Amino acid sequence: MASILIAGCGDLGSGIASNLVEQGHQVHAIRRSQNQFPDGVQGIVGDICELPEASFPKVDIVYLIMTPQDRTAAAYDAAYLATSQRLYEVYQKLATQDGPHVFFVSSTSVYGAEQDGAIGLQESTPAMPSSETAKVLRQAEKVWLEGQLEHTVVRFSGIYGPGRNRTLDKIAQGQGFSAPNQWTNRIHRDDCVESLVFMAQAYFAGTRLEPLYIGTDNAPVSQWELVNWIAAQMGVKQTLTSELSLADMIPNKGKQLSSQALQNLGYQFIYPSYVQGYQALLKGYLKG
């Protein structure tokens, strides 16, 4: 039995915590304010940056999974960079030869928006963040990637799943299209949870983990193809609010990501493409 800390016990963190408790591990979790944790989890309530050092348990694995309060550089700084710096400081003092191993959940936004439809972007592709929020996230990654603690940074692409219905809501209202068309990358929430648990299991089994993995399904898709497919499942039509040129319709912007390294590690996707993932999601959405 291992001791594990979930720093940021939201949707993904709760899923990981429940899974690890079922496996018999001792699981601690931190939430900023709400004193509600999955069954079997030893909860800690407070701001990671303000909790005293004595509040942090000695553990074998740390998951840092934060959610910013809004999409501003300041919010990202508070959610990602400040918490990374604080946890690094604490666990550098608590570190032993046996760990902890830190999993930091990041985003593929650090690759930047202007990739001109580049195919097969992978871990070795240089991160060139273009937005202010992505630049802060990249700084947070560097706390771990350039630090001395054992670490794995996991960059997830667009996460969808139960409760993440913004795309479905827009399509249901006939407003799913936006110009210009571009490439998008997706991963179901359940694959985020299961892949992070899988990596912990690999670590416990003695498998050498890479410092960086991309988490995305096997089917990069153009935005319009995705919208058309979902709209067909819903039986609704989409409208365009402006005239478009042929160049607007061809998906030559965005990026096409590869999770081959994660699959080489042995992970098998529950939902290998948006088709399986959204089919499962739509069953509940259309009933609701």
Specify the pLDDT at position 117: 62
What is the bridge-based pairing of β-strands 183-184 and 221-222?
antiparallel
Q: Which CATH number goes with the domain that contains 34? A: 3.40.50.720
Q: What percent of the chain clears pLDDT 70, i.e. is strictly above it?
A: 96
Residue 40 maps to a domain: yes
Residue 223 maps to a domain: no
Locate 4 and state its tokens.
């594990």
Based on the structure, what is the number of domains in the chain?
1
Q: Whole-model pTM?
A: 0.95
Specify the pLDDT at position 202: 98
- For residues 28 and 59, the answer to whether their CB atoms sit within 8 Å is yes
Residue 118 maps to a domain: yes
Q: 54 to each of 58, 120, 212, 230, 273, how far by Cα in Å?
A: 10, 44, 30, 49, 44
Amino acid present at 78 = A
Beta bridge partners of 153: 104, 212
pLDDT in tens, the chain (288 residues): 899 999 999 999 999 999 999 999 999 999 998 889 999 999 999 999 999 999 999 999 999 999 999 999 999 999 999 999 999 999 999 988 777 999 999 999 999 876 666 777 899 999 999 999 999 999 999 999 999 999 999 999 999 999 999 999 999 999 888 778 889 999 999 999 999 999 999 999 999 999 999 999 999 999 999 999 999 999 999 887 667 676 777 887 889 999 999 999 999 999 999 999 999 999 999 886
Task: Give strand ranges (E) for 138-240.
Answer: 150-156, 158-160, 183-184, 186-188, 212-215, 221-222
Q: 33 to each of 6, 8, 44, how far by Cα in Å?
A: 15, 11, 9
Number of residues that make up the chain: 288
Tell me which residue range forms the domain holding 261: 3-163+187-218+256-274
Specify the pLDDT at position 246: 65
Residue 180 maps to a domain: no
